[in-house]
Amino acid sequence: MSAPNDAKRTLHIDPYEKNWMRISIILVIVFAAAVTVAGFALGFQVPSPEERVDPNNLTGPWENPGLRELSPGVYELYVIGNATTWQFEPRDVEIPVDSTVTIYVTSRDIQHGFKLQDTNINMQILPGQVSKLTHVFEEAGEYPYICTEYCGVGHAAMFGNLTVVEK
């Protein structure tokens, strides 16, 4: 029978190795905490694939993209990425403050991105797929949206502006 001290000595872990093991464990704890804080305290959302559409034949609400009021203070916003004009359709949106807006995005052609400044809204725009995220606009101001996926020569010009106005 060997004493506990003997058992410890037989492990032969290099002190440097031990430190790297400690750092690795600390990193895993930090990452897990960051994901937990992002998901529950900061309200991060994962864009959900809402439905499939034919990018060459966008029908229904996509025929006339833009803002629709569903009930007082509740809106849905349809945004299309377009690499022929390198523009978002629509380019300008105006909503009253304290509105809840569900944003639906899709593409007419290739992959784009949709990031709305000063919010948690950041989605990939894929042809054939509709993605959606919801945000409550509690502060008036300008919320520019930009394309975050390189989509061609007009990529840098691909932006729009959402204005939240006082009631």
Q: Least distance to ligand CUA from the beta carbon of 50, Å?
A: 20
Q: Closest Cα partner for 104 from 139, 149, 144, 64?
A: 64
> For the window 76-115, what string marks contact with ligand CUA as x by the rule CB under 6 A?
-----x------------------------------x---
Q: Do residues 109 and 147 lie in contact, with contact meaning Cβ atoms separated by under 8 Å?
A: no
65 is a site residue for ligand CUA (CB under 6 A): no
Q: What phi and psi, each to the nearest 5 degrees, are found at residue 61?
A: -60, -20
Q: Least distance to ligand CUA from the beta carbon of 98, Å?
A: 30
Candidates 39-47, 96-104, 130-138, 147-155; binding stretch for ligand CUA (CB under 6 A): 147-155
Q: Do residues 95 and 102 lie in contact, with contact meaning Cβ atoms separated by under 8 Å?
A: no
List the beta bridge partners of residue 161: 92, 144
Q: Which of 77, 80, 93, 158 binds ligand CUA (CB under 6 A)?
A: 158
